[in-house]
Amino acid sequence: MIEAVGLTKRYGAKTAVHNLSFQVRPGAVTGFLGPNGSGKSTTMRMMLGLDRPTSGHVTIGGHAFRSLPNAPRQVGALLDAKAVHGGRSARNHLLCLAQLAGIPAARVDEVLGVVGLQDVAKKRSNGFSLGMGQRLGIAAALLGDPQVLLFDEPVNGLDPEGILWVRNLMKQLASEGRTVFVSSHLMSEMALTADHLIVIGRGQLLSDMSIKDFISANSADFARVRTPADRPEEREKLTASLTKAGGGVMPEPDGALRVTGLPLSRISDLAHASDVRLWELSPHQASLEEAYMRMTQGAVDYRSTTDAKEGLQLPPPGYGQPGFEGYGQPGHAPQPPPEVPQQGWYAPPPPGQNPYAVTPAPAPTATPDRTERKTSEDSR
Ligand SMILES: Nc1ncnc2c1ncn2[C@@H]1O[C@H](COP(=O)(O)OP(=O)(O)OP(=O)(O)O)[C@@H](O)[C@H]1O
């Protein structure tokens, strides 16, 4: 198990990680998500003893990484796949690592086979593609057959077959009872791979729960209802009936109705009782990506200047605020979205509390330029 307690890292005036506390349990794949610059790599580096926390601590199996006896046999990590000596062959690179950790050479050939690099094992790694480099990094992480594995963007540069392979590998490692902690920006992939999610924004914990709970806590499920296009009066009759029954009703641009607060069966019964025919009645469940966008909307440092909100619907006034009673109230005209402490495009806020909607995070200054990384104890 990995445990972070009050973990904080400051680089001069810059707070990269602020008071993070969470546990990563064995037997599951835990996804580590957050916008660019939110502190994921910094957190992982502190886990691996590559950066020293300013305050707080992080332990693996109850020990700080630096005091773990024979750490490579207990913890394997892929942080930066390019961190290899390009003049060495894949096999020699792994042999060096194995010798340093007292791991038998036979294990090197074993992991080369596991990651599918056996045919290029004798080739210099500076001729490797991005995907081959990732596979070599994963082989290095697996070398000591460790119980705890950390992967920073493991599918970066992999083709679809490679991505599927990594997904199955992570799941298999977790099913063997290992602790698997993996960061990624690929939400669709995370949704298929991870059981549990830890989400951070601007160095602070935003969420720590199962994927299923995360999606339901950060999405507004609704039903799409469509009545015959040539009978607007049926649409109005149904809107009145659904609203009277306590549902929220909002028209969609294509003529359908977006209904919240009523189960599908109730919508169907109300339509039947009002003598309204339905051409469509379908549930809409948010994807992990939608839920993630809502959760992190106030914690994104870098955004395009082009208008990515095109095509997104404006939420009705009060949406996501305590006391909001649904769509379809009389006189509901689209209003500008509530203030969020960022510029850029807007996605509707989560139904629950968004920490950034209430208390803007202490804003560590964002510097896309990382030239200052050369400072202090950055030992990479
Ligand atoms: N050695 C350093 N010196 C100064 N600032 C740093 C250093 N390392 C990280 N930072 C800053 O800390 C913040 C967090 O960076 P980090 O690389 O941990 O984020 P991340 O979530 O991994 O980002 P990405 O998803 O883009 O990889 C960033 O603003 C970054 O510029």
**Complex ipTM:** 0.97
Q: Which of 42, 199, 374 to mutate to test the pocket of ligand 1 (most atoms within 8 A of CB)?
A: 42
How many residues does the structure list for the chain?
380
Whole-number pLDDT of residue 288: 86
Q: Give ligand 1 pocket residues (Cβ under 6 A).
A: 11, 14, 16, 34, 36-42, 366-367, 370, 372-373, 375, 378
Element (H, E) at 332: none
Whole-number pLDDT of residue 81: 64
CA 208 to chain centroid, in Å, comes to 11
Report whether 349 contacts 319 (CB < 8 A).
Answer: yes
Model confidence at 143, pLDDT cuts 50, 70, 90, reads very high
CA 76 to each of CA 43, 58, 97, 114, 133: distance values in angstroms, whole numbers, following the listed order: 15, 16, 12, 15, 16
Residue nearest to atom 7 of ligand 1 (CA): 373
Residue nearest to atom 16 of ligand 1 (CA): 39
More confident site: 14 or 347 = 14
Whole-number pLDDT of residue 303: 66
* Nearest-angstrom CA–CA distance, 320 and 30: 28
Distance 16 CA to ligand 1 centre (A): 6
pLDDT digit string, tens, across residues 226-271: 999 899 999 999 999 999 999 999 998 889 999 988 999 999 999 9
Whole-number pLDDT of residue 305: 61
Q: What is the DSSP string of 124-143?
A: BGGG--HHHHHHHHHHHHHT
Distance 51 CA to ligand 1 centre (A): 12
Among 224, 229, 246, 219, CA closest to 328: 246
More confident site: 202 or 216 = 202
Question: In this predicted structure, which of 89-98, 141-150, 307-316 has the lowest mean pLDDT?
Answer: 307-316
Distance 338 CA to ligand 1 centre (A): 29
Sign of the CA dihedral running 140, 145, 146, 152: positive
Model confidence at 64, pLDDT cuts 50, 70, 90, reads very high
Q: Which of 40, 206, 374 to mutate to test the pocket of ligand 1 (most atoms within 8 A of CB)?
A: 40
| pLDDT mean across residues, the chain | 80
pLDDT digit string, tens, across residues 273-308: 999 999 999 988 778 888 888 878 766 666 666 554
Whole-number pLDDT of residue 181: 97
Kindly report the CA angle at 320 between 318 and 211, in degrees rounded to 5? 170
Whole-number pLDDT of residue 380: 33
* Nearest-angstrom CA–CA distance, 281 and 276: 12
* pLDDT at residue 90 is higher than 90: no
Report whether 12 contacts 375 (CB < 8 A).
Answer: yes
DSSP one-letter code for 355: H
* pLDDT at residue 313 is higher than 60: no
- pTM flag (> 0.90): no
Whole-number pLDDT of residue 302: 64
Model confidence at 218, pLDDT cuts 50, 70, 90, reads confident
Residue nearest to atom 12 of ligand 1 (CA): 16
* Nearest-angstrom CA–CA distance, 207 and 214: 8
Model confidence at 363, pLDDT cuts 50, 70, 90, reads very low
More confident site: 335 or 220 = 220
* pLDDT at residue 213 is higher than 90: no
Percent of the chain scored above 70 by pLDDT?
77
The CB-based long-range contact list for 163-169 (8 Å cut-off, 24+ gap) reads 163/189, 165/116, 166/138, 166/193, 167/192, 167/193, 169/114, 169/138
Q: Give Cβ neighbours of residue 333 (< 8 Å, ≥ 6 apart).
A: none
* Nearest-angstrom CA–CA distance, 130 and 153: 12
Question: In this predicted structure, which of 3-7, 234-238, 347-351 has the lowest mean pLDDT?
Answer: 347-351
* pLDDT at residue 342 is higher than 60: no
More confident site: 27 or 303 = 27
Query: How many distinct helices (H) and strands (E) make up the chain?
Result: 11, 13
Q: Give me the phi and psi of 340, to 5 degrees please.
A: -120, 150
Report whether 175 contacts 103 (CB < 8 A).
Answer: no
Q: Give me the phi and psi of 267, to 5 degrees please.
A: -60, -45
Strand 196-201 and strand 28-33: the pairing is parallel
Element (H, E) at 226: strand 222-226
